[in-house]
Amino acid sequence: MSKRKLTPKQRKFVDEYIKLGNATQAAINAGYSKRTAKSIGQENLTKPDLKSFIDQRMAEIESHRIMDAQEALQLLTRIARGEEKETVVVSTQFDVDTIEKEADLKTRIAAAKEILKRYPDSDDLLKAQVRRAVADAEIAETKAKEIQKVNQHDDSTIVVDDLEDTDNDGED
């Protein structure tokens, strides 16, 4: 971000713009005149300081509110291992209580499957690609053997031709 500080009105504009996604309404909510809000809103979006501040705020929001891949895998791992507890309401004839319990077996298996999807070894598409690669390799090997047989046959023909040429050379 630039060294220039944003005014409180500009900061309010940025916060409103991030919430609403509408520059005109953000300008109005930030305290700019309704008459000039549209042009001020668009102008603010082109200012490097404000643009940089918006990008910075969006990165902060993203990093704090959105789970990244590592967090997701860690959560799935805790569930699969039975380490993640859930609160369950249990009622008896006389009372209602809450208890913490591990995920049931079905949920743990589902979590394990979700984890395995992220690894190439368990990917059905990868397995199909491997089967195709093996088949292609076998086809290529078979073709190579056929070509080798043809070449051996051609080599024996060449040898015979060479012998005939040798005989011809002797007659000349």
Overall number of domains in the chain: 3
Note whether residue 3 is domain-resident. Answer: no
Enumerate helices (H) and strands (E) in the chain, giving the number of each.
7, 2
Q: 85 pairs with which residues across the strands?
A: 102
The pLDDT assigned to 132 comes to 75
Beta-carbon count within 10 A of 89 CB = 8
The pLDDT assigned to 46 comes to 92
Give the tokens for residue 25.
């309404």
Note whether residue 1 is domain-resident. Answer: no
Give the tokens for residue 74.
């860690």
The pLDDT assigned to 2 comes to 43
CATH of the domain at 20: 1.10.10.1400
Note whether residue 93 is domain-resident. Answer: yes
CA angle 113, 117, 123 (to 5 degrees): 120
Do 94 and 136 sit in the same domain of this protein? no
**What value does the mean pLDDT take over residues 119-131?**
61
Look up the domain containing 28 and give its range. Answer: 8-65
User: What is the C-alpha separation between 102 and 81, in angstroms, rounded?
Assistant: 9
Note whether residue 81 is domain-resident. Answer: yes
The pLDDT assigned to 172 comes to 47
Give the C-alpha distances (Å, rounded to integers) separating 104 from 2, 81, 92, 107, 111. Answer: 53, 11, 21, 5, 11
Mean pLDDT for all residues in the chain: 79
Q: 13 pLDDT exceeds 60?
A: yes
Give the C-alpha distances (Å, rounded to integers) separating 153 from 2, 89, 142. Answer: 78, 82, 17
Note whether residue 150 is domain-resident. Answer: yes
As to burial, measured by CB atoms within 10 angstroms (0-12 exposed, 13-18 middle, 19+ buried), residue 123 is middle
Q: 50 pLDDT exceeds 60?
A: yes
Do 42 and 81 sit in the same domain of this protein? no
Do 58 and 73 sit in the same domain of this protein? no
Chosen domain end from 29, 48, 65: 65
Do 57 and 101 sit in the same domain of this protein? no
Q: Which residue has the higher pLDDT, 153 or 52?
A: 52
Q: 100 pairs with which residues across the strands?
A: 87
Note whether residue 138 is domain-resident. Answer: yes
Do 83 and 44 sit in the same domain of this protein? no
